[in-house]
Amino acid sequence: MNRPDPITGITFPKGKSLLHNPLLNKGTAFTQSEREYLQLEGLLPPYILTLEEQKMKVLSAVRLKETDMEKYMYLTALQDRNEILFYKLIMDEIEEFMPIIYTPTVGRACQEFGHIFRRPRGLYISAKDQGSIIKILCNWPQRDVDVIVVTDGERILGLGDLGADGMGIPIGKLSLYTACAGIHPGKTLPITIDIGTNNEELLADPLYIGLRQKRMNGPDYDSFMDEFMDAATHVFPDVLIQFEDFANHNAQRLLDRYRHHYCTFNDDIQGTASVVLAGLFSAMRLLNQNLSDQRFLFFGAGSAATGIADLIIQVLKNLGMSDEDARRRIYLFDSKGLVVTNRNDLSDIKKPFARECDYESDFASAIKTIKPTAIIGVSGIGGAFDQRVIQTMAELNDRPIIFALSNPTSKSECTAQKAYEWTNGKAIFASGSPFVPVNFNGKQLIPGQGNNAYIFPGLGFGVVMSKPYRIQDELFVIAAETLSSRVTDSNLNKGLLYPPLNQIRDISIQIATKVAEKAIEMGDSKMEPLCDVESTIRSQAFIPEYRSYI
């Protein structure tokens, strides 16, 4: 008689059906007694491999692939047939494969998603489902879901509207929740909200997998999203909902609409803000200065920029600064120029950051006027930090802070090589996508990658464990402080503002611990205080090991 898996609630199938269930399949690692009991005799080659032997086999195979896209497709197929083996490989070789399963390769994968689509993963909820979203969610086989990552595909990385092809993003994000922090893959759910696309190329593509219609907007869109949030929290009562890659005109608005009523956050806004704040904390150690000594100029004035600015302001206020004084440290520069009070074309999210100063339409000129100590690129415009911009920063600052955060790599405002060359090796640099180490004047400089994966998996795991009613800004601050505390003096001397990626599992556990402790301390948690939060979290973290079926 079949029995349910104690973690996922899935009933154990037997025979060929078991081999097609990626959460339960062990492939050639099934023992002889398991093969007899589970009716697998003859369905597998006779030699029995260990998990470690299987890992070496797939590692060798994926390394033979010539392009990153071929590697992505191989790893996707592996995840679809054996999740334990997939996560064993990813977790053991995180530095090699994170750029494959997530940025920058996932951006290319989303651009080609309809053409490489093989097997469905997650849920697609379309405009045609309005009025019956709860029914669609109930089609998901697991009821014990800890984390949902949802996108509507309108602003995938820096690539724009990819509609239903944006599903690669929530799939990739949830893979990192498991690999980096330890949330069980059976308790995660990727969702794409398909309310159409305004991308004419996709609408004309015969292989496009989404609705062939223009995007729903206005009150209809809001009504649809309201129904989704209500349904998701009804079907999965304690779920954390992470918003991902929504367009600027919806991202902050939806965050404001839901953040006080649901356990939700927007990673592009708040996760980005937290990882940037961590990098700034590390930069302050290099400079032997305080955050209150800095002046920040953002290139890009969308929800990512305002989210980072808001969190910086929160920290400055925590240090005793008034809101007005804190805002004086922040300047935004959008597609039309410096965000100043006498402009009459500012969106609502930009108005709180408008400054009473002279308007500048040229970014390098704005730098000369404002004299920032840090420039932060969140524009999606590749190469925007040109030689004139970087050298102007170097003229004004002994150690200019230059964060080129746009993804993927082609959209980065400047490369690490250029940032170091044009500042004579003095730049304090971080990027959103990875860059290789730079040899400059006999010294190897390792550029820091401000990857959100340093923040959201650990923060999410801490939220799952402490079950707060809402996710307050203090949790993102404590996550940033915890991450920065893991950067050693040796790391800083090499240019690293973030710890090595191979430490991310332990870092995420520490972030989860601090976040859970803070949520409980704030009295905003459904959980009772725990004697040893870290031990409890570590005991619950997913480890890619096969269990016995006998």
Catalytic machinery residues: 102, 173
Residue 266 CB burial class (10 angstroms; 0-12, 13-18, ≥19): buried
Tell me if the bond preceding 408 is cis, omega within 30° of 0: yes
Q: Cα-Cα-Cα-Cα dihedral of 332, 477, 237, 544, to 10°?
A: 110
Which residue blocks in 28-128 are alpha helix, DSSP H?
32-37, 51-63, 68-81, 83-92, 94-101, 105-111, 113-116
Q: What tokens appear for 296 in the block?
A: 């920040």
How far from chain centre, in Å, is Cα 202?
A: 25
User: Which residues are 404's β-sheet partners?
Assistant: 377, 431
Q: What tokens appear for 445 in the block?
A: 């400089």
Can you give 405-472 as a three-state secondary structure string? CCCCHHHCCCCHHHHHHHCCCCCEEEECCCCCCEEECCEEECCEECCHHHCHHHHHHHHHHHCECCCC
- Which residue is it, tokens 């700034």? 280
What amino acid occupies position 104? P
Report in angstroms the alpha-carbon separations of 529 from 14, 368, 466, 524.
42, 52, 9, 11
- Which residue is it, tokens 């991450």? 483
Report d(CA 455, CA 452) in Å as an integer. Answer: 5
Cα angle 86-90-91, degrees, rounded to a multiple of 5? 115
Report d(CA 278, CA 246) in Å as an integer. Answer: 24
Cα angle 541-543-545, degrees, rounded to a multiple of 5? 150
The gap between the terminal CA atoms of the chain, to the nearest Å, is 13
Q: What is the DSSP letter of 178?
A: I
